[in-house]
Structure 1
C-alpha cells in the first residue's frame, strides 16, 4: 500500500511537471499545477484500488489509474490558447433576414 501511494505521488508529480514545462502559457501558477497533479494521482490510485477490490492488488493497474485521473485533473486547468481568433460573421441569437 505504501508503494502505491509513493509511486502514484511521484508519477503525478512527474506528469504535472511535464505539463507545466510544455504548456506553461496555458496553465495557472506552477504550485497549483504541481499540487493538482499529485492530488489527482493520489485520488486516482485510491479510486482504482477501491474499484478493483480487495482481491486484486495489482501495482500496475493502480499506477495506470493514478496517471489517468491526474491527467484529467490537469486537463481541467488548461486555459484556451491565446492567438488570433476568427471574427464571427453573425451576432449571437441573430435572425437571418431575407433580401
Structure 2
C-alpha cells in the first residue's frame, strides 16, 4: 500500500509537470499546481482503493490519474478575456 501511495504521488507530480509545461500561461503558481496534482492523485488512489479493495493496484493508479487530472483542470483560467456585451447592444 505504501508503494501504491508513492506511485500515485509520483503520477500526480508527472501530471502537474506536464500541465505546467504545456499550459503555464493559463495556470496559477507552480507550487499550487504541484500540490493540487499530488493531492488529487492521493485522493483518487484512496477512493478507488477503498471502492475496489486490496489487490487492484492498476485500478487504484488509474483512479489516481483520473482524479488528479480533474483536479488540475479546475485550476485552468480562460485563454482570453471574456467580453460581455450589454443587453442594449
Same-fold status (TM-score > 0.5): yes
Q: 4+ runs of 1 displaced by more than 6 Å?
A: none
Partner of 2:59: 61
Unmatched 5+ stretches in structure 1: 95-99
Give TM-score, length-normalised by structure 1.
0.81
Number of equivalences? 88
Counterpart of 2:76? Answer: 78
Residue 82 of structure 1 and its aligned partner are, at CA, apart by 2.1
What's the TM-score, normalizing by structure 2? 0.90
Return the alpha-carbon distance in structure 1 between the equivalents of residues 51 and 56 of structure 2: 12
Structure with the larger helix share: 2
Structure 1 residue 87: Cα displacement: 6.9
Stretches of structure 2 lacking an aligned partner (at least 5 in a row): none
